[in-house]
Amino acid sequence: MNRVQSSEFSSENSALRRIFAELCRLNSELFLVGGPVRDRLLARRCHDWDLACRNAQSTARQTAKVLHGKFITLDEQHRIFRVILPDHTTLDFAELQGKTIEQDLSRRDFTINAMAIRLCSGAPVLPCSGLERAAFNRSTEAQEHGSTVIVDPFGGQRDLRRKIIRAVSPRALVDDPLRLLRAFRFAAQFQFAIEARTLRWIRKHRESLWKVAAERIREEWLRLLMQPAAAATLKSMDQAGLLPVLFPDLETCRRVAVRYYGRGGVLKHSLQTVGNLEWIFERMASEPRSAGASRKSMLAPMLRSSDAPIREYLNKPMGGFPSAAWLKFAGLLHDIGKPATAQVIKGRLRFFGHEDVGARQTQRILRDLRCSRQEIQQVSAWVQNHMRLGNLAAAPKITEKAIARFFRDLGNGGVGMVLVSLGDHYSYLPRNRWGKGTDPVEKVARQLLDSYYFRREAVLPVRIVNGHVLMKKLRLKPGPLIGKLLASVQDAQVEGKVTTRDEAIAFARRKLKQRA
């Protein structure tokens, strides 16, 4: 009989069996439901366990007490409670909806999440070998999984085999419109297709997405973008009419520059940019780590002998999501200011100032999604500065001072800015020239990243004076002038004109006189 590899899960299952045995002692009518059942069938690791039972609140409180966990009320109205155990395992208890588990499952979103396992049946729910796969190849409604029965009234196992996202009913999408977006997130996460009838239901009810709290939309949207191959799913969202509902400004982009970009206009280009970014990220993930890696590749300078800092950058969280997800968001929005700035000059369609207009639109969009100040500032900075890489490439020579100014203005976001700009640029570059290192924009990108990761002290030297020193020595009051003087001093450090604190103060004094 085919089995999931046992070594990966054996120690985990040993602890889980003890946890579940204790849960059954506390509540005899307890079901493992939804995601954990689905993920075990797909042989995926699971750290958060969803449970349905009667008396969910008291069961959760007792569980927290017996297992020394922390009790949290997640949703008082819908009777959902969480227990966080000392090893960070999360148990979510929801009140059983309806008289039977089948009635409870009928209220869930998609068939692949509408499955359950009765924990207290006496059967080994999670054997050390993992869930046996043989039963997964059968298609009865209540599957016997080894000696474990899976309650599957809507054919979730069949849809897992067929790689289909199918809504349990149209009512499921009406009851919680966030599920309209979640369908696409699951499609991206598992690389499944959304069933045709479910797509029709999504299109029919797409406007109801605005009934959902912005914080919930933000969470689901970024969970979609963090998937490695989200670009294709975004195109499907657009075809279903959901993307322009989520971001109405993108609908205007569709009608601009159609003769230049083809059908779909600026929106088509923006979706391509997201796909281009995913191509770049994938290349970085597969780039060799060795110190002797060829530097002919455009991506090689991003690596060091001991690690890959660019990969660390992509995985670094911002607002609970990896930076890669936010970069894709910026890629989607980078040209959103073009419709408002489009004008024909001497027979050419131009978009002067679209980056500034787009940055303001981006700020509004992210505020509407209840993003944090840091998130708004970072994504809008990427939108506002996405032309800088191309402008540097157009210059006869890129100086140390220009490199320093780029990273000084953008901070740690400078690395992301290079990536977003490359994704944008690749939309205009033939595919067979990507990553060759011969294109002027790629050369500048390589130079910038090389400087940031291997010569950071040269292009971003440590400040030898701060604002307090300048205000005291030059008798200045706080204000924007201080920042400008500090930037001038740092430029002078890069050029070797200033090396000591006294030289920095004297330089700032001369700059002040010139301004006067």
The contacts found for 435-438 with CB under 8 angstroms, 24 or more apart, are: 435/283, 435/297, 435/298, 435/299, 436/298, 437/296, 437/297, 437/298
Distance between CA 350 and CA 257 in Å, rounded?
10
Bridge-based pairing state of the strands 48-53 and 30-33: antiparallel
Give the architecture (CATH level 2) of 10-162. Answer: 2-Layer Sandwich (3.30)
Give me the helices (H) in 300-412, please: 309-315, 323-333, 338-341, 354-368, 373-384, 388-394, 400-410
Return the domain boundaries, the chain: 10-162, 165-231, 274-459, 467-515
- pLDDT (tens, 9 = 90+) of the chain, 516 residues, equals 223 333 333 345 566 777 777 777 776 778 999 999 999 899 888 778 899 988 889 889 988 888 889 999 988 877 899 999 888 889 999 998 888 999 999 999 999 999 999 887 655 444 433 334 434 444 334 444 444 688 999 999 999 999 999 999 999 999 999 999 999 999 999 999 999 999 999 999 999 998 999 999 999 999 999 999 999 999 999 999 999 999 999 999 999 999 889 999 999 999 999 999 999 998 876 655 444 444 444 555 444 433 468 888 999 999 999 999 999 999 999 999 999 999 999 889 999 999 999 999 999 999 999 999 999 999 999 999 999 999 999 998 888 889 988 998 898 899 999 999 999 999 999 999 998 888 999 999 989 988 888 888 777 777 878 888 888 877 878 888 888 888 887 778 777 777 888 888 888 888 888 876
Cβ atoms of 38 and 115 within 8 Å: the answer is yes
pLDDT of residue 226: 97
Given this structure, which CATH class describes domain 165-231?
mainly alpha
Q: Which helix (H) or strand (E) holds 91?
A: strand 90-95
Cβ atoms of 298 and 437 within 8 Å: the answer is yes
Cβ atoms of 313 and 329 within 8 Å: the answer is no
> Per this entry, what is the length of the chain?
516
pLDDT of residue 43: 86
Cβ atoms of 313 and 226 within 8 Å: the answer is no
pLDDT of residue 265: 95
pTM for this structure?
0.85
pLDDT of residue 296: 44
